[in-house]
């Protein structure tokens, strides 16, 4: 007879029922501008009415079916405690979720492991990358995530290697981006490792990852890809990126609880990523030996299937189209303003929902922190300042599925007033 603890933990009967109730809503693909449909989707999210939240690239609000499942899992875990973990979840339960995630990612289950987020995934990939030698070069871009830049610097220092930085031009074009990476790789013939971000958290620029990866591989350069911002927002599978090493998370555009991520290593390349801190819980030929996170938030892990199910019911393509529509809605109204520079191009394949701007001639850190503060204090619009682009600091705007066009009208009116001086 099946252990009732196992049934409670893994079948999520009530969660499945709650999610099934929404299936009719998502039965047919919806147009990105079908406001009645997207208002129904937005109703699944409990959002504060105290401000306009346009800073959704940090992490994603869970849909109500997911949040409800998370709460049930917390209660179950709190009640059944270590018996649940030791007798059921730490073995078959976790593996069932890992298999579900692998299918979602489009890779074999033995090529992924769960982590606490993209930062842990990428830090482990970088810090344990074995082929970098003294005199080699590690390459990253100025739009890559800060913690990953730090990890690349640390790896190079420990191995006696050099660092080269790709300066992404503004305004960005697809060819301009490709040329910048080509120039840097050509100028560094001993380049061995390249860090590449799919969607920059600084500007929202979508990089042509597959093309750059092929370019790097032709020169014998390995690529580690950061998909923290793209997974769940863009419609693709991991093999499409052509990369052997990928780190991502589930708490941004998938909408799972905070503190969840994954690491992907193509099986044939596993030996090139060292075992993490001497782990012996798993064999050296098991990807799980490349991560040792300690005790994960098990209730969050239990909620991954609910998050994936809601994401898939909405549809990756439909979600991405709606997010780009919302981005185009405000960008198209702001571009005509004479002294506001939008930092992502209006070119298919080069942007998602994340987009940054700066007031012309105002690129200092202090100016953009002040601008984000003014948007919040004066207009009730929450954004965030980002730093590092070649043209200076900027303010990031990130709509989500629950964002309404009227809220973006409010942003446009605020920027029109600010730009007018």
pLDDT at 1 over 80: no
∠ CA(170), CA(174), CA(178), 5° rounding?
A: 90
| Average pLDDT for 278-297 | 92
Q: pLDDT at position 99, please?
A: 96
Beta bridge partners of 138: 163, 193
| pLDDT tens sequence across 231-275 | 999 999 999 999 999 999 999 999 999 999 999 999 999 999 999
Maximal C-alpha separation, the chain = 72
Q: Within a 13 Å sphere around the CA of 273, how many CA atoms are in the beta-carbon half?
A: 32
Give the pLDDT of residue 91: 78
Q: Under DSSP, is residue 258 helix (H, G, I), strand (E, B) or coil?
A: coil
| Residue 326: strand, helix, or coil | helix
**Mean pLDDT in residue range 33-43:** 96
Of 115, 328, 317, 304, the C-alpha closest to 232 is 317
User: Residues 89, 64, 314, 342: is their CA dihedral positive or negative?
Assistant: negative
Q: What is the pTM of this model?
A: 0.92
What count of residues does the chain have?
421
Residue 89: the pLDDT is 80
The pLDDT assigned to 25 comes to 52
The stretches of 201-315 forming alpha helices (DSSP H) are 209-218, 298-302, 304-314
Cβ contact 199:172 at 8 Å: no
Query: What percent of the chain is modeled with pLDDT above 90?
Result: 87
Averaged pLDDT for residues 295-303: 92
CA–CA distances in Å: residue 256 to residues 62, 68, 117, 177, 191: 6, 12, 11, 32, 37
Q: How far is Cα of residue 10 from the mean position of the Cα atoms in its chain? A: 26
Query: Is the distance from CB of 226 to CB of 196 less than 8 angstroms?
Result: yes
Q: Which residues contact 89 (CB under 8 A, 6 or more apart)?
A: 9, 10, 298, 302
> Can you tell me the distance from the alpha carbon of 74 to that of 78, in angstroms, rounded to the nearest whole number?
6
Query: Considering only CA atoms, which of 204, 195, 209 is closest in space to residue 150?
Result: 195
Quick check: 220 and 248 in contact, CB under 8 A? no
Measured distance between the N- and C-terminal CA atoms of the chain, rounded to whole angstroms? 72
What integer pLDDT is reported at residue 310 of this predicted model? 97
Report the range of poorest mean pLDDT among 28-37, 158-167, 194-203, 408-417. 28-37
Residue 338 or 311, more confident? 311
- Strand segments (E) across 198-297: 222-226, 245-249, 261-265
230 has pLDDT over 60: yes
Please report the pLDDT score of residue 26 as a whole number.
Answer: 52
Alpha helices in 28-136 (DSSP H): 35-42, 64-84, 94-105, 118-127
Report residue 233: phi and psi, to 5°: -105, -40
Edge-to-edge strand ranges of the sheet holding 340-342: 340-342, 355-359, 394-397, 384-386
- What's the mean pLDDT when you consider all of the chain? 93
User: Distance of CA 204 to CAs 47, 186, 214, 342, Å?
Assistant: 23, 26, 22, 10
- Paired tokens of 351: 């942007």
Q: What would the two tokens of residue 123 be?
A: 């830090």
Residue 256 and residue 66 in contact, taking contact as beta carbons nearer than 8 Å: yes
- pLDDT score at 28: 59
Considering only 22-36, 105-119, 318-332, 339-353, which range has the smallest mean pLDDT? Answer: 22-36
CA 290 – CA 151 distance, rounded (Å): 16
DSSP letter, residue 89: I
Kindly report, residue by residue over 86-137, the tens digit of the pLDDT.
887 877 888 999 999 999 999 999 999 999 999 999 999 999 999 999 999 9
Q: Of 366, 371, 327, nearest to 347 (Cα)?
A: 327
State the pLDDT confidence band at 338, using cuts at 50, 70 and 90.
confident
Per DSSP, the chain holds a count of helices (H) and strands (E) of 14, 13
């Amino acid at each position: 007879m099946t252990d009732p603890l196992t049934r409670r933990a893994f079948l999520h009967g009530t969660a499945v029922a709650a999610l099934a109730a929404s299936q009719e809503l998502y039965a047919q693909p919806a147009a990105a501008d079908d406001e009645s449909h997207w208002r129904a989707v937005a109703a699944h999210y409990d959002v504060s009415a105290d401000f306009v939240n346009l800073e959704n690239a940090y992490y994603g609000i869970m849909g109500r079916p997911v949040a409800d499942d998370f709460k049930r899992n917390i209660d179950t875990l709190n009640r059944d405690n270590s018996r649940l973990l030791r007798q059921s979840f730490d073995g078959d339960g976790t593996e069932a979720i890992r298999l579900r995630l692998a299918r979602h990612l489009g890779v074999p289950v033995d090529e992924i492991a769960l982590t606490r987020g993209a930062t842990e995934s990428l830090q482990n990939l970088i810090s344990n990358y074995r082929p970098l030698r003294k005199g080699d070069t590690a390459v990253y871009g100025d739009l890559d995530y800060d913690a990953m830049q730090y990890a690349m610097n640390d790896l190079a220092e420990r191995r006696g290697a050099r660092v080269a930085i790709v300066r992404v031009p503004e305004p960005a074009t697809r060819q301009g981006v490709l040329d910048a990476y080509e120039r840097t790789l050509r100028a560094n013939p001993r380049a061995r490792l390249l860090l590449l971000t799919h969607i920059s958290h600084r500007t929202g620029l979508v990089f042509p990852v597959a093309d750059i990866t092929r370019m790097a591989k032709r020169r014998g350069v390995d690529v580690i890809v950061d998909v923290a911002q793209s997974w769940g927002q863009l419609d693709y599978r991991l093999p499409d990126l052509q990369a052997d090493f990928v780190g991502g998370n589930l708490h941004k555009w998938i909408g799972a609880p905070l503190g969840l991520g994954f690491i992907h290593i193509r099986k044939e390349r596993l030996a090139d990523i060292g075992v993490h801190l001497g782990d012996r819980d798993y064999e050296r030929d098991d990807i799980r030996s490349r991560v040792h996170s300690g005790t994960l938030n098990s209730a969050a892990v239990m909620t991954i299937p609910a998050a994936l199910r809601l994401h898939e019911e909405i549809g990756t393509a439909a979600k991405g189209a709606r997010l780009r529509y919302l981005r185009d809605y405000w960008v198209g109204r702001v571009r005509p303003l004479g002294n506001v520079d939008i930092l992502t191009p209006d070119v298919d394949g080069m942007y998602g929902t994340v987009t940054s701007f700066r007031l012309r001639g105002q690129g200092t850190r202090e100016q953009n922190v002040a601008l984000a503060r003014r948007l919040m204090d004066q207009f009730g619009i929450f954004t965030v300042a980002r730093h590092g682009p070649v043209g200076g600091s900027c303010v990031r705007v990130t709509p989500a599925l629950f964002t309404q066009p009227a809220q973006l009208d409010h942003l446009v009116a605020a920027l029109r007033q600010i730009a007018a001086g």
